[in-house]
């Protein structure tokens, strides 16, 4: 602890009125604050660490979830945000230099630029988040996407994709259309399940009271498009209806799920589907039942090459999400959400610094808060630099 | 600062500087903040103790005695949560440490007084949230909040979990504050190895508080988000992993055990040397063992999860690492024993607590080794053996050290002596009550009595009854301690500057200290050298001659 020797005039030899009484001098206060902020940053890293561990754990257990789900994220947005944050780190560091040199205008300018970048980051994040909320690409139990990560439409559990598509279930045993089995965990979207895709006849339904009743009218895709009020087929964003990828297995028995056009505009119109279960896609592999690794020579016998990882990813992206894809978005929202809260906190801090800078509080003797806030900002930036590749750039 | 009481040339002490409720609520003085912590912690101690007694009454005989099973689950949960998060974790660092540590460094205050007050208010908010959860029907998950049960129980997990989150940040800020204070507020001439061992212990604790507590923070935050947003990270129904919660929880909560015990060890180091009138044996070993315990504490969390479905390799590695913790712990015990050897032992109340600590910590530590053995742990896991083990460490050691430290520093901070005879009586009561409570639990645990059970086989009745009787002896002793501490704050005989003849700097400060602790800068003497101190009355010692040459000052460390 270095004793202050310049007891001239300022009471305790303090250069600025912001030097607190229990410190020896400005340097002592600055050093203490600097150590304090570094420890705080260590704390921050540990605070985020659990999320990184969760990321590593689930990715190592279920790599296909990550391979599938990252197509939902827009690398363009992530990259812009990375650039924005790196730029803001530069201006934050520049602000510190200005404060050290007592350049008040430069300080104010750089603090403002940092704030501007922070707002830009939050704005882009807002665009990304609102798109995901709209499309049902959410965390945990709320994960219910309107489209696959490859862009093809999906049946949703809550039927919430207004204006794009909707779904009706035709229950063959009960011989009526219902939405009853559109509940969590009751829809099987696995395209590889044989049984329901083949030989389907689509007929129009009209809602009569509470239930749909068939009109006996069969129609094709374009007819459906016209019927549903879209006019021309080219106006339809998604296919009028699709059958091939959307089988459903209700608890009561087999049923078909049909996607078609704008459900909300014509709530009285439905589609009836009558399907005969298709035969199994191919002869069962005689070795498929064997537990553990396949015996030597299996591949030669069957003649089927395993798909490459890239092919798997492509196929996954086109099809419905693998089970528990929600975990990716749980982690995505936890990580980016916590990071976003830190950015918000940074905005508050920089607004306060801007206010104090305009008031002229900072001098070459007293610029600690600018320095500490910039360090905090760098760690927020650094965490994003890890988040960007981990979430957006998976291959 | 206000000096309107300045009459006789002496500065007013820190009570006199300003008066009134507002002067306390807005205070930045570490001593006042420490005192407010102390009252809060003693109140929480009584609350947590009351829950413990309710648990013990219910277990007096098999079947229902006073409450049903669900209520019983809430009792032991609240006992655990209140005692761990409100009493034991902040007990020594935030209350005693706050009051004493800056004075031991000869510093005017901690590095960040406003942050210190913030910590205290965080503690208050956390305590309030725990009380809110009690008012909302209490929690029944156990203090560990294990998923998936904590996601399913209808009880008030949300406020309790938020309380723990806020309390965590209270602890982090205290640790951060202390660490910076130790680094930046040592006086000229006080190098790292002239620091009192209490400061070393608080330093090691601060490292853990900063590095472990944030993991608890994010874990309970995730649990909180999980509960009302169904994010699924710990929910197996959504693909999450409930065992991951246990990993995160114990990554904090194992170091937390050392956050609880190491400050106690620091206090005991001070008491052992002062009341043996001998320099502490193996100063550097004790100092280093505190830090190495702090670092090792991060490597052993998996031993709480031997039967939770960890991989066999992880289990074996954690078991092996667990045994390494025995080394620094044993170093301390041996050094304290060697300090006692041929000492001029004074059996004042603090020393009675210190000697209790030595015995109880040894039992608690050694039974920990039993639990670290994989084959044994499979049988003892979740039995009363575990309950007895961690009570020997957390209560028999930490709380006893807290009480020892409280009696030791109370004269300095309050300016009043506690009643010595009554204090000694209570110390003996705590020791016997404690052993009567928990020794039978080792026996019944090893015979298979599971922990947290509301009912039990009649063959365990005698052990439960002994335990309940012991709990009452313990409870009454603690209640009397809290009562006479409150009483002596106003009515005790006035304390002298150095009632125990100790050498650390706080005993040079006025009693009670002034606002910035010292009227004149303290002189640095050789630490734990009692040759120059002479007893002039029962509780008054004075320094008779200055040490030849200022060799302590000459050993000034180069790091400043």
Q: Which residue has the higher pLDDT, A173 or A112?
A: A112
**Domain assignment present for A31:** yes
Structure-model confidence comparison of residues B1 and A309, the more confident one: A309
pLDDT at A188: 43
Cα gap B340→B336, rounded to integer Å:
6
| pLDDT higher than 70, residue B62 | yes
CB–CB contact B233 A42 (8 Å) = no
The answer on A179 and A135 residing in a single domain is no
Q: Which of A295, A318, A341 is the last residue of a domain?
A: A318
Q: How confident is the model at residue B152, as a pLDDT?
A: 86
CA distance B180 to chain A (A): 6
What is the Cα–Cα distance from A282 to B212, expressed in whole angstroms? 55
Do A47 and A129 have their domain in common? yes
Between A347 and A191, residue with greater pLDDT:
A347
Of B107, B210, B235, the CB nearest to A43: B210
The residue among B108, B271, B205, B148 whose CA lies nearest residue A20 is B108
Question: Residue B230: which pLDDT band, with cuts at 50, 70 and 90?
Answer: confident
Instruction: Give the mean pLDDT of B405-415.
Output: 95
For residue B205, pLDDT over 70 is answered with yes
Q: Looking at the complex, report in whole angstroms how far the Cα of residue A263 sits from the nearest Cα belonging to chain B.
A: 29
Residue B216: closest CA among B283, B145, B266, B154: B145
Question: Which pLDDT score is estimated for A159?
Answer: 55
Question: Would you tell me which residues 181-240 of chain B have a C-beta closer than 8 angstroms to some C-beta of chain A?
Answer: 183-188, 210-215, 217-219, 222, 225-226, 229-233, 235, 238-240
Give the mean model confidence (pLDDT) for residues B519-540: 90
Whole-angstrom Cα distance, residue A173 to residue B429? 76
Rounded Cα distance between B485 and B360, Å, is: 24
Cis status of the peptide bond prior to B512, with omega within 30 of 0: yes
Residues A177 and A239 in one domain: yes
Q: Read off the pLDDT band of A271 (50, 70, 90).
A: low
pLDDT at residue B123 greater than cutoff 90 = yes
The answer to whether B246 and B304 have CB atoms below 8 angstroms apart is: yes
How does pLDDT run across B179-194, given as a tens digit for each residue?
999 999 998 889 999 9
Judge whether B3 is closer than 8 Å to chain A, CB to CB: no
Task: Pick the range with the lowest mean pLDDT from A226-230, B303-307, B348-352, B516-520.
Answer: A226-230
- Do A314 and A335 lie in one domain? The reply is no
Structure tokens that stand for B13 in this block: 């002490």
Domain final residue pick, A299, A318, A337: A318
Given a cut of 60, whether residue A332 has pLDDT beyond it is: yes
Domain count, chain B: 1
In this structure, the answer to whether residues A352 and A372 fall within a common structural domain is: yes
Tens digit of each residue's pLDDT (9 = 90 or more) over A14-67: 567 888 888 988 899 999 999 999 999 999 999 999 999 999 999 999 888 898
Nearest CB neighbour to B109, from listed A22, A42, A142: A22
Kindly list the distances between the CA atom of residue B186 and the CA atoms of A12, A31, B103, B107, B192, in Å, as whole numbers in the listed order.
Answer: 19, 13, 10, 7, 9
Q: Does A199 share its domain with A79? A: no
Asked if residue B560 has pLDDT above 80, the reply is: no
Residues A172 and A256 in one domain: yes
Q: What is the DSSP letter of A214?
A: E
Q: Which residues of A touch B244 (CB under 8 A)?
A: 53-54, 57
Say if A3 falls within a structural domain. no
Report the pLDDT value the prediction gives residue B72, as an integer from 0 to 100. Answer: 93
pLDDT for the residue B548: 54
Q: Is the pLDDT of residue B258 over 80?
A: yes
Residue B489 lies in a domain: no
Walk across the sheet containing A247-250 and list its strands: A176-178, A166-171, A253-260, A247-250
Residue A347 three-state SS? helix
Cβ distance A212 to A168 under 8 Å? yes
pLDDT for B413-428, tens place per residue? Answer: 999 999 999 999 999 9
pLDDT for res A168 = 46
Number of domains in chain A: 2
The reply to whether A78 and A195 lie within a common domain is no
pLDDT (0 to 100) of residue A255:
43
The interface residues of chain B toward chain A in range 110-139, judged by CB-CB distance below 8 A, are 111-113, 115
Average pLDDT over residues A302-312: 66
Give the end of a domain, one of A271, A296, A318.
A318
Does residue B496 belong to any structural domain of this protein?
A: no
State the residue range of the domain holding B388.
28-484+504-554
Q: In whole angstroms, what is the distance from residue A104 CA to residue A226 CA?
A: 66
Average pLDDT on A341-365 reads: 95
Per-residue pLDDT band at A282 (split at 50, 70, 90): very low
Cβ neighbours of A35 in B, within 8 Å = 179-180, 183-184
pLDDT at residue number A5: 39
Residue A298 belongs to a domain:
no
ipTM given for this complex: 0.91
Asked if residue B16 belongs to a domain, the reply is: no
Cα atoms found within 13 Å of the Cα of residue B420, Cβ hemisphere only? 13
Rounded CA separation B296/B326 (Å) = 10
pLDDT for A224 equals 39
Indicate the residue of B187, B210, B248 with minimum beta-carbon distance to A50. B248
> Are A57 and B241 a contacting pair at CB < 8 A?
yes
Structure letter (DSSP) for residue A33: H
Average predicted confidence (pLDDT) for chain B? 91
Of residues A264 and A90, the one with the higher pLDDT is A90
3-state class of A360 per DSSP?
coil
CATH of the domain at B38: 1.20.210.10
Q: Which residues of B touch A43 (CB under 8 A)?
A: 172, 176, 210-211, 213-214
CA–CA separation, B3 and B16 (whole Å): 9
Quick one: average pLDDT of B3-27?
77
Q: Is the pLDDT of residue B154 over 90?
A: no
Let me know whether A130 and A172 are in one domain.
no
Both A136 and A274 in one domain: the answer is no
Task: Report the range of poorest mean pLDDT among A224-233, A298-307, B230-239.
Answer: A224-233
Q: Which of A157-171, B6-20, B96-110 has the lowest mean pLDDT?
A: A157-171
Q: Is the pLDDT of residue A209 over 90?
A: no
Mean pLDDT of B351-363: 97
Q: Which CATH number do you get for residue A377?
A: 1.20.120.80
With a cut of 60, say whether residue A394 has pLDDT above it: yes
Same-domain status, A208 and A116: no
pLDDT at A49: 94
* Residue recorded with tokens 């947003």: B229
Residue A150 to residues A31, A92, A133, Cα–Cα distance (Å):
53, 39, 18
Domain limits for position A37: 26-140+326-392
- B193: in domain: yes
Chain A residues inside the 8 Å CB shell of B233: 54, 140, 327, 330-331, 334
Which residue among A36, A50, A334 places its CB closest to the CB of B112? A36
A331 or A16: which leads in pLDDT: A331
Residue B14 within any structural domain of the chain: no
In angstroms, the CA B246 to CA B242 distance is 7
- Size of chain A in residues: 395
pLDDT at position A240 is 38
Do the domain assignments include residue B17? no
Considering the domain architecture, whether residues A129 and A39 belong to the same structural domain is answered as yes
The answer to whether residue B429 sits within a structural domain is yes
The answer to the question of residue B142 being in a domain is yes
């Amino acid at each position: 602890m270095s004793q202050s020797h310049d007891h001239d005039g300022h009471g305790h030899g303090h250069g600025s009125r912001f030097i607190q009484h229990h410190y020896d001098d400005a340097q002592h206060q600055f050093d203490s604050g600097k150590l304090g902020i570094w420890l705080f940053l260590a704390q921050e890293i540990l605070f985020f660490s659990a999320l990184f561990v969760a990321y590593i754990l689930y990715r190592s257990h279920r790599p296909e979830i990550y391979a599938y789900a990252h197509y939902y994220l827009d690398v363009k947005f992530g990259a812009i945000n990375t650039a924005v944050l790196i730029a803001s780190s530069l201006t934050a560091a520049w602000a510190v230099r200005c404060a050290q040199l007592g350049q008040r205008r430069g300080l104010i300018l750089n603090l403002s630029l940092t704030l501007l970048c922070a707002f830009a980051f939050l704005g882009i994040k807002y665009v990304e988040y609102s798109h995901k909320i709209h499309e049902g690409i959410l965390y945990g139990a709320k994960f219910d996407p309107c489209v696959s990560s490859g862009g093809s439409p999906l049946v949703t559990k809550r039927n919430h994709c207004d204006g794009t598509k909707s779904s009706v279930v035709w229950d063959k045993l009960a011989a009526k259309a219902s939405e009853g089995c559109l509940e969590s965990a009751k829809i099987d979207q696995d395209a590889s399940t044989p049984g329901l895709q083949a030989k389907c006849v689509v007929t129009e339904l009209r809602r009569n009271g509470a239930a749909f009743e068939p009109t006996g009218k069969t129609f094709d895709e374009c007819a459906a498009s016209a019927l549903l009020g879209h006019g021309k087929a080219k106006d339809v964003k998604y296919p009028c209806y699709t059958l091939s990828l959307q089988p459903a297995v209700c608890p009561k028995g087999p049923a078909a799920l049909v996607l078609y056009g704008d459900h909300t505009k014509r709530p009285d119109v439905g589609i009836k589907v009558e399907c005969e279960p298709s035969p199994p896609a191919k002869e069962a592999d005689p070795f498929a039942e064997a537990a553990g690794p396949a015996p030597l020579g299996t591949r030669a016998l069957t003649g089927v090459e395993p798909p490459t990882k890239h092919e798997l990813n492509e196929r996954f992206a086109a099809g419905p999400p693998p089970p528990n894809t929600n975990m990716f978005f749980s982690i995505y929202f936890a990580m980016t959400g916590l990071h976003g809260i830190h950015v918000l906190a940074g905005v508050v801090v920089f607004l306060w610094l801007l206010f104090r800078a305009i008031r002229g509080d900072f001098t070459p003797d007293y610029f600690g808060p600018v320095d500490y806030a910039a360090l905090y900002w760098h760690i927020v930036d650094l965490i994003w630099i890890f988040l960007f590749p981990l979430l957006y750039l998976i291959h | 600062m206000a000096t309107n009481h300045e009459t006789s040339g002496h500065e007013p002490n820190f009570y006199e500087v300003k008066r009134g409720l507002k002067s306390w609520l807005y205070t930045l003085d570490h001593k006042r903040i420490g005192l407010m912590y102390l009252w809060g912690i003693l109140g929480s101690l009584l609350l947590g103790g009351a829950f413990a007694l309710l648990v013990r009454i219910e277990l007096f005989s098999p079947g229902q005695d006073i409450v049903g099973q669900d209520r019983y689950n809430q009792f032991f949960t609240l006992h655990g949560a209140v005692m761990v998060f409100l009493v034991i974790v902040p007990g020594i660092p935030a209350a005693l440490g706050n009051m004493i540590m800056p004075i031991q460094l000869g510093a005017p205050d901690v590095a960040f007084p406003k942050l210190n007050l913030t910590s205290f208010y965080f503690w208050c908010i956390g305590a309030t949230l725990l009380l809110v959860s009690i008012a909302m029907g209490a929690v029944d998950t156990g203090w560990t909040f294990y998923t998936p049960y904590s996601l399913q129980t209808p009880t008030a997990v949300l406020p309790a979990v938020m309380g723990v989150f806020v309390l965590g940040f209270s602890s982090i800020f205290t640790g951060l504050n202390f660490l910076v204070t130790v680094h930046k507020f040592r006086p000229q001439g006080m190098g790292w190895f002239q620091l009192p061992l209490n400061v070393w212990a608080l330093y090691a604790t601060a490292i853990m508080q900063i590095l472990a507590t944030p993991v608890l923070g994010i874990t309970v935050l995730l649990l909180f988000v999980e509960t009302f947003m169904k994010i699924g990270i710990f929910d197996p129904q959504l693909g999450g992993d409930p065992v991951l919660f246990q990993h995160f929880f114990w990554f904090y909560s194992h170091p937390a055990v050392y956050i609880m015990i190491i400050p106690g060890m620091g206090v005991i180091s001070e008491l052992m040397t002062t009341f043996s009138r001998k320099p502490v044996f193996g100063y550097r070993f004790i100092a280093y063992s505190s830090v190495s315990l702090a670092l090792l504490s991060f490597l052993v969390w998996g031993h709480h999860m031997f039967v939770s479905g960890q991989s066999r390799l992880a289990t074996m590695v954690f078991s092996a690492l667990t045994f390494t913790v025995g080394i620094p712990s044993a170093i301390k015990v041996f050094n304290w024993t060697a300090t006692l050897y041929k000492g001029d032992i004074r059996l004042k109340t603090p020393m009675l607590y210190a000697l209790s600590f030595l015995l109880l910590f040894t039992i608690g530590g050694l039974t920990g080794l039993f639990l670290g053995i994989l084959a044994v742990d499979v049988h003892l896991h979740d039995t009363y053996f575990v309950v007895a083990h961690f009570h020997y460490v957390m209560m028999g050691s930490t709380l006893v050290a807290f009480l020892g430290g409280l009696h030791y520093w109370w004269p300095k901070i309050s300016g009043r002596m506690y009643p010595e005879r009554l204090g000694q009586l209570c110390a003996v009561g705590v020791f016997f009550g404690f052993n009567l409570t928990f020794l039978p639990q080792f026996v019944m645990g090893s015979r298979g009595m599971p922990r947290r059970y509301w009912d039990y086989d009649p063959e365990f009745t005698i052990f439960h009854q002994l335990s309940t009787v012991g709990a009452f002896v313990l409870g009454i002793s603690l209640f009397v301690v809290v009562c006479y501490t409150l009483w002596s704050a106003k009515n005790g005989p006035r304390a002298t500057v150095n009632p125990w003849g100790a050498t650390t700097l706080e005993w040079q400060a006025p009693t009670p200290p002034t606002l910035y602790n010292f009227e004149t800068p303290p002189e640095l003497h050789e630490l734990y050298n009692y040759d120059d101190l002479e007893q002039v009355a029962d509780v008054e010692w004075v320094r008779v001659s200055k040490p030849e040459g200022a060799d302590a000052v000459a050993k000034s460390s180069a790091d400043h």
